[in-house]
Structure 1
Amino acid sequence: MTKLILHHYPASPFAEKIRRVLGFKNLAWKSVIIPSVAPKPDVVALTGGYRKTPILQIGADIYCDTALICHVLEHEQPEPVLFPPHLKGVARVFAQWADTTLFWAAMAYNLQPRGAAEMFARLPPEAAKAFAEDRREMSAGTLRLRPADATAAYRSYLRRIAHMVEEHDFLFGAEPCVADFATYHPLWFTRVCTPAMAGIFEPVPAVVEWMDRIAALDGGRMEKFSAQDAITVAANAEPAPLLDDVFQDEHGIPLGSPVTVAAESFGQEPTAGELVAATRTRYTLRRTDPRAGTVHVHFPRIGYVLRKAEQ
């Protein structure tokens, strides 16, 4: 029985990252299409507040952030590997750069007026306005590159990526790793969602050829699923037993405390719950929702802020 449920929408670049990983690992998964903008009541029923895209659901366990989702999928299906032993450190560091610095440069370039107009050309004007307002709210406090600076940075990053894939089929050798999928998704957005901006790839044909190799890794098996059915799955399940990892207390907050977890920057909506795990790599909160029942919501440590809840 297919147990992986991905909550996503087609034009989400971070969702495309995970869709490519699912294909690479030839995993079966259920697809729940969610709104691209708030309100997202079905998402919040599972997460308690977090509303970035995508989220991965396995029963009553909800995994937030693609960095953590990649580790979960590696555990579910160890082969082919996302984190090769000889590349574990460099692949993680490179992926973090791609998910942050490269991503924001690419998106500031992509969503210049010409790209944004193309992206929303088939939608009513109110859809573009709603998207802009939603992302403005989610970006409060986030430093955004100006278009000219983003263009210069993106061109430089593409040249550096080209130098890597001129030597190998993938970034670090003959096989892809997590760094490839993290690097791919903002470039995919340029090419697929805002093709009017894709001329930036003309000086780097090796990058386009590498993207084609990533796109060809499409062995996953997708089944459509409804949001209500996904919530029912959670309500009828129990969270999986927690891994027997050592409690790592950096905040002076004991397990069992009421806490919140929120992203450091973009999309800072907090999730509140009971802290039931704080390991080297993740936080886990237990929370109960009238529709979804008791769930465990998991976040990576890197990029997220843990706070004791105000009483």
Structure 2
Amino acid sequence: MTPDLILHHYLSSPFSEKIRRVLAFKKVPAQSVFVPSISPKPDVVALTGGYRRTPFLQRGADIYCDSALICDVLEHVQPEPPLFPPALRGCSRVFAQWADTTLFWTAMSYALQPRGAAQLFGGDAQLAQAFKDDRKAMRVNMTQLRPADATSALRSYLRRIASMVEEHDFLFGAEPCVADFSTYHPLWFMRAQVPVMADILAVTPAIGEWMERMQGLGQPRLERFSAEDAITVAGRSEPQPPGSNLLVDSAFQDDHGILLGSRVTITPESFGAEATEGELIAATRTHYSLRREDPRAGTVHVHFPRIGYVLRPAAAK
């Protein structure tokens, strides 16, 4: 077990719930730092250098961004029970990527219609508007589904998912895999955070039963920790060199003509336009790693998955 993991998250975040479910499934303990749901996020930026999506995982001075990469890290920390069973390694990853993107954004466009947003923010119009403005700024490279289109698509997706869990306890068989956790979190958001919008789930009762099985996998072992203490941990730690951290693949794969040691930026493809700048210290078949300096956090290594992120040379200063 690795008790020195720090999860930076907030309670109503769907992707945070995905990782909380994985931690429970694997019985891996972690420290818990709550982050703001909207900007400004100075403590987040001190660690990530610009990336502000939620959640991210910290171990010492190593920062792991994106729930897909965090799942890889947790699989290395605790291989059993597996998120990526050998017979399902390919299809579970592909399905999880679909669920984390297409299903997620469809569910959010449906759930955050005015009735859902009003419930999520307790009728606080000012808070709702601040959240809307924040997410609009993060969505600069995306086209948002209209509510009617999202409703139609979500109904079709729910029927397809239901047909899978009618046949098995979980999506691909008797045990959950990464696809289950990626599919669960946007539906959890509707049911737990905006139940006024959850009636759409009633027509597929098999999904409700599957969600209860997912909930029954246990509760995460999270201990409250402060953001300031997490930054102190980073400042007092030495980041691990490539290949010796929790991302075990280290062979350089050059698809961009950018050499290791170059000054680069890494930016999400779509949601979240903020770039993280640093020195490229790893570019493997699965991930990128940057070394960067921060006045508060010291030297940190920030890690991103390749899929879903754009690598560019940093602009000359």
Q: What is residue 109 of structure 1 aligned with on the other side?
A: 110
Q: 1:297 aligns with which of 293, 302, 315?
A: 302
Misfit runs of 4+, over 2 Å:
none
Cα distance in 1 between the residues matched to 2:86 and 2:3: 28
Alignment deviations for residues 175-221 of structure 1 (CA, whole Å, 9 cap, x no partner): 00000000000000110111001110111000000001111112431
Matched, 1:269 2:269: no
Gaps of 5+ in 2: 244-248
- Look up the match of 1:81: 82
Q: How does 1:129-278 map to 2 (within 5 A)?
A: 129-243=129-243, 245-278=250-283
> Hey, what's the Cα distance between the residues in 2 that align with 1:80 and 1:219?
15
TM-score by length of 2: 0.96
SS in 2 for 1:240: coil
* C-alpha RMSD over aligned residues: 0.9
The secondary structure found in structure 1 opposite 2:64 is: strand
User: Percent identity, aligned pairs only?
Assistant: 68
SS state of the match for residue 276, structure 1? Answer: strand
My pick for the range that moved more, 276-285 or 124-133, is 124-133
Q: Within the alignment, does 1:280 sit opposite 2:301 as a pair? A: no
Q: Take 1:259 and 1:155, find their aligned partners in 2: how far apart are those partners?
A: 42
Matched, 1:118 2:114: no
- Secondary structure of the 1:212 match is helix
Deviation at 1:241, TM superposition (A): 2.4
Q: Could you say what secondary structure the match of 2:254 adopts?
A: coil
Match of 2:96 in 1: 95
Query: In the aligned structure 2, how far is the partner of 1:25 from the partner of 1:208?
Result: 22
1:19-46 per-position Cα deviation (integer Å, ceiling 9, x unaligned): 0000000011111000000000000000
Answering whether residue 49 of structure 2 is matched by residue 48 of structure 1, we say yes
In structure 2, how many angstroms separate the alpha carbons of the residues matched to 1:2 and 1:231? 17
Aligned to 1:259, the other structure's residue is in SS state: strand
Note if contact 1:25-1:219 (Cα within 8 Å) is conserved in structure 2: no
2:246 alignment counterpart: none
Aligned to 1:5: 6
Distance of 2:315 and 2:203 partners within structure 1:
53
Distance 2:3 2:233 in 1: 12
| In structure 1, C-alpha distance between the alignment counterparts of 2:36 and 2:295, rounded to whole Å | 21
Distance between the aligned counterparts of 2:297 and 2:220, measured in 1? 27
What are structure 1's unaligned runs of at least 5 residues?
A: none
In structure 2, what is the Cα distance between the partners aligned to 1:276 and 1:241? 9
Paired amino acid for 1:192: A
| Deviates most, 105-114 or 243-252 | 243-252
Q: How many residues align?
A: 310
Query: 1:2, CA displacement in angstroms?
Result: 2.1
The alpha-carbon deviation at position 242 of structure 1 amounts to 1.2
Letter matched to residue 121 of structure 1: G
